[in-house]
Structure 1
């Protein structure tokens, strides 16, 4: 009886085993591409691509304030990834003098109440 149960478990696990590497295993892999540039003033640009299809790009640059007395780091970028449903999700974002803005077709749109 124990042999039959063990054999049934072995067959069930073989049938249920994924044919491709699991998402968790791919997420554990290092980035396929990684580019990063910095200057002496803190400005930067970066981009990387991971094994599971995530792409991140971001840039930070200094811009003068309206009165010209100081500089502010303005950041803008984009992240895209493939969801568990197989769809590609893209999120664009920016942060700077006019606040933070995030947009993506998968994100809810805020409703302004008057």
Structure 2
């Protein structure tokens, strides 16, 4: 996995992402997919992987109904920025804790 993406991964609530949704730069990644792999494919402009992910529904633009559901349920997301896009993936704290452990390992290696 791209260590740069891992270091920059964040955990956000919807209110932090609303502006990206309004600017039409927000993409959601299905929970069963590897958000880091898709983010890296976007960063590398790997059109074959990106087109396949869009066609299969692995990555999609959320609609207003989905956004309202997320707001009402106070969902939290793994968030990756691959300029100019923002990728989000619904995630619980236990799974995000695993990402934090991997982030700590990467940062430790850099010291």
TM-score past 0.5 threshold: no
Per residue, is there more helix in 1 or in 2? 2
Sort the TM-score into its range (normalised by shorter chain): under 0.3
TM-score for both structures, normalised by structure 2: 0.19
Larger RCO (CA within 8 A; separation ≥ 6) = 2
TM-score for both structures, normalised by structure 1: 0.18
Q: Choose 1 or 2 for highest CA Rg.
A: 1
